[in-house]
Structure 1
Amino acid sequence: MIKVIFLFTLFLIPLFSFSQEQERITPNLKISNDFKDQFDQLDITLYYLYGSKSKGWRDSCLQPFSGLDNWNAQNVWGTWYFPYVEGGVTKRWQFQNGNNTPKITELNWARIIRLPRKSIDSLSPCEKADIYFGNKDFRITKHEMFWRGKLRGQGETRLLITSTESHEGFCNGARAAGAILPEPKNSVILKSLADTNIVITFFPLDIKMLATMSYFHMDANMNQMIGGVVNGTDYSVNAGTFDIALRSVIGSKGMAFFMDADPSPGVATNVSIIGYKRTKNYVSITQEEKAKYPNAYNKVTVNTIIYYLGEISESDAKNTTTEVIRNHSNYVDSLECRYNLYIENGTNNIMDGVWVNNSYVPDNIWFANGYGSDEVFSFASPISQPNKWDDNRQLRLGNPYLPGVFVYNLTYRSAGR
């Protein structure tokens, strides 16, 4: 039985204030495959995201035998990626067939207030949010329908979006929200701010969907990537950087980070790295390696199994992730990696990392912490590019009408925090 939290107090006093969009305050670090460059990028990333900044930390993580060799991230949850072609977050997920996304003509306040409570409870998360805030024009829902839903590429987006692929959805938002926020577990009942006679039930899956939407965009300084394609050049993740990220983020902080599990160009399949098992041993370097690394006196060969959590089907995401994994262990997958870490003479620090043979090589890894900022990254906010693209040449699809603080508070209340 679902535990229900009755919440009639209004979300008018936030727990914190969301910052406006900011320029990155991280230094302009050199982007390359080089270990030193990527380690500097990882160092500054961990400082801004997790507060790790000390010479002791740097010295420790550079030692290949320091840290934990076997650890799992704590309290990570998963959900579906809610593809745009299925309606995104405007999908009425309780309708498995038929009318599972709203029609524009149905978004009528006079009609909605006459619906019985059971019908209101079966609407999409966006429609429920509009009803709660008293948006009689259903601005949250309509924005999503045209920008990240079934009407994408029509109406106001007709000249900006020419096609939608089946893989396009909220996978990055789902991964970030699932690693940062507590998992929604209980239904939350609210009264509309416009009419207290209208009562809305936000089920756990409703709240997960809104959280993935809120975390689709994040403040630039709290969402950092290493590797990937930059200006047409593919920079794969250095093996030494990856090894340190495992030990410092999962092993030390107990938090997940993320990678693209699909090497196909133009396709991002974001998954959460939730654990690893690492074995290592010293191996003598060859003459060829000695010529390439004259300051290295030895190398450490590392065999690592990484465990990751990807998409959880919409039907299973109605349950807690712990329950889902217990009943469907295939949701947690694994990859085996093998790499050499070259050790610097005199310091015993990693000086470079090289992937071995046919080892899996992540195209990119990325890290996130803090608050979702989807409403800031929209056409309604000031942007530096006059042609409505942001600095990363991505369309700014954020929804300016759904306050992230509402989603944040709703999630914590659903989790019983």
Structure 2
Amino acid sequence: MGEHTDEIVVVGAGAVGATIAYELGRAGLSVRLVDSGEGPGGGCSYANAGLLTPNYVEPLATVENVRLGLRYLFAPKSPFRLSPHPSLVPWLASFVASARPGRAALMTERLQAMARYSLALHLAYPEQGVDTGVRRTGSLDAWTTPEGWEKARDELPEDTRMDAEQVAEVFPGLHGVQGGVFHEEDATCNTLQYVTAMVEAAQAHGVTVQWGTRVEQVREEDGRVAEVTLSDGTRCQPRQLVLAAGLGTGALCEQLGLRMPLKPATGYVVDVPHGPSTPPHPVMLKELKVVLTPLADRMRAAGTLDLSAQPGRSKADRLESVREVAQEAMPDFAWDDPIDTWAGDRPCTSDGMPVIGASRHVEGLVVAAGHGMWGMMLAPITAEWVLRGLTGDPSALSDPAMSPDRFTHLRRRPTSRGGDRAA
């Protein structure tokens, strides 16, 4: 307890926050990493599909996702589902407006360029002595319906296209596939191993890590971050505050007078032991939106997305949907007897783009949140941008499309209460 004058306080030790802390510590900066969990993987960084694939990255706000949300509004086994709630209406209005085809295409191009660079950073971590478990494996996009494959086939490059027989040769345990395309540049990584390795590497570079510690209050004074009060009574006066607290980032920004419309999109994971026909590469079932990933110690099925007004609304029937898809596609595995199941809330912005930037309204504040499903994929480039922005290159944190100020059209007075707690 007491007062500390750490140069930088990072709130949130998920994939994004842990990577930021590592890069800042590696650069020799004084860093305190704070998280409300009892150890790595306490939030949405516990698990994901385990797939690092730049080709899949796009903003959540697209015309296709709007159509899927409306089409499957009341369908229990849909790959994408909206949970209607009055408080979601303003958020959804912004979401639909942001899904304009021209804008969505431009943002997809930008995000995929970021993801390609971020993948290169992922693959470089083992050379730095950080054992994140990343492996370049390639991945298969697979179509399971004749009409889906017929529509996609003619648009795919011939040198990477695989018909049903070719898929069966490489993936003998994969059933019901009409054809696919192979992406040799993709990689896999177990999120929990990644976060654990990043936190340990950050500590090795002198970063102070506090588990089981909430941020009780963030106080602004004269237009800059003045003090951060932690649940153990510690009061920090950092030169820079980096908020990477997932969904909790919104409440902390509110205390500083910034609007941050983050909503939870719940994804689901089912893990089973390896079977006799473990595939050599991950498989994305395109129509069903389920990924089947061979990790070092397990086979993982991940998929579906539930967009809702409040976190913690996971549903058992959605896990069952993922399990059923996996069982049909790869029946040689014990999907009815999983070693682990999980549901996690991904923080999503109303315009579908992550928040990565320094605030113009509140000096000393950097926000790195709202990555949605792509937190793991984009964690390295996010960390590099934060490092550059805090060490002499402010342009790295000034992109208007990802600015933390873009939702705050009129600056509001900071809230004085300390009741909103996060990370």
TM-score range normalised by the length of the shorter chain = under 0.3
What is the TM-score normalised by the length of structure 1?
0.26
What is the TM-score normalised by the length of structure 2?
0.26
**Bigger proportion of residues as strand:** 2
